[in-house]
Structure 1
């Protein structure tokens, strides 16, 4: 599903310019990344408002992680272009349609708190324990790096389990 959006290119249709695999950054927040798609919608006054779109292979989730990721992209676009980015969309491959996301104060605050929490993990070098959940973990692309079955418990519990195997 990401094959097309991972190819950095641009196209224009009418008043909308579309950029794929667009590098993003926000120096103040010290974050950077790559947006799958950003549409630039031209306003009547000539201003171009970015509209980020993130592609996901599954379906909408009960948690807000996808929305936080998209909002972080909006924060980058706002700093890069000096314009407010009020909304974006998540495109889920399983349902094959866009789900609008409004970047309201609550989502922006959650995104900023998540950025701070991630920065703390990097600075302290302490990663939270992974909690294995078959439904979530088995389809995750990071399962081989995370090892939630092995390391999702305390070190002493993991060691005890290893000693029982012997």
Structure 2
């Protein structure tokens, strides 16, 4: 009997690719904190997150399209999907910040493309990340290496979902730009002696005399 894979949200792939602990905080503890960047991203996505369809000569545009990949156990929503007159399918992921080639956003986009291939019974060779920072579309190749990366990250996310403990804190330059810095406490957790001292000070065992009181 085939075991059904634990579903992995497409958004979790980007979170994990950026920082495994960030993904763990969101998936295991349902923790999330907004900052200026995340609020800006939410405002940017207001339009593309409303299900809609627009048809112009030679192109049909779908917004907030639900997608899934049964075999890989992936599911989520595509910001924008363009279908050209020749049936070419193009996913376009919108991001508020600057685009970094090969970064975490690429993983999410490629995963979207793989889901769209299953839904539309097609092959997708290129997708785009739209960066609001420079108002440009950046092409992302949907090649064998990118597909393998999606599978590897999905496997890693699924391992986090099966755990009861969070991944270790990164405590590097990524933390400065992370909205979840306060929840994560990377500097404290990276210094285990400091962490154990803070933990003992916060949770001091009661003595027998304390119980008597």
Structure 1 position 161, deviation (Å):
4.0
Runs of 5+ consecutive residues of structure 1 not aligned to the other structure: none
Deviations 1:21-43 (A, max 9, x none): 11111111111111111111121
Structure 1 position 129, deviation (Å):
1.1
Structure 1 position 144, deviation (Å):
4.8
Partner of 2:47: helix, strand, or coil? coil
Runs of 5+ consecutive residues of structure 2 not aligned to the other structure: 1-43, 205-213
Of residues 119, 137, 142, the one that matches 1:80 is 119
The match for 2:175 is 137
Change in CA separation of 1:52 and 1:145 when aligned onto 2, cut-off 3 Å: farther
After superposing the two structures, state which structure 1 stretch, 1-10 or 61-70, moved more.
61-70
Structure 1 position 65, deviation (Å):
1.1
Deviations 1:49-99 (A, max 9, x none): 221111111112265211111001011111111111111000111111000
Between the aligned partners of 1:23 and 1:141, the Cα distance in structure 2 is 26
Which of the pair has more CA radius of gyration?
Answer: 2
2:78 is the counterpart of 1:40: no
| 1:25–1:80 CA contact under 8 A, matched in 2 | yes
Higher relative contact order (CA 8 A, sep 6+): 2
| 1:129–1:153 CA contact under 8 A, matched in 2 | no
Structure having the higher strand fraction is 1
2:56 is the counterpart of 1:19: no
RMSD, aligned CA: 2.4
Partner of 2:169: helix, strand, or coil? coil
| 1:131–1:153 CA contact under 8 A, matched in 2 | no
- How many residues get paired? 160
Change in CA separation of 1:37 and 1:144 when aligned onto 2, cut-off 3 Å: farther
TM-score normalized by structure 2? 0.67
After superposing the two structures, state which structure 1 stretch, 13-22 or 54-63, moved more.
54-63
2:150 is the counterpart of 1:107: no
The match for 1:127 is 166
Between the aligned partners of 2:61 and 2:165, the Cα distance in structure 1 is 39
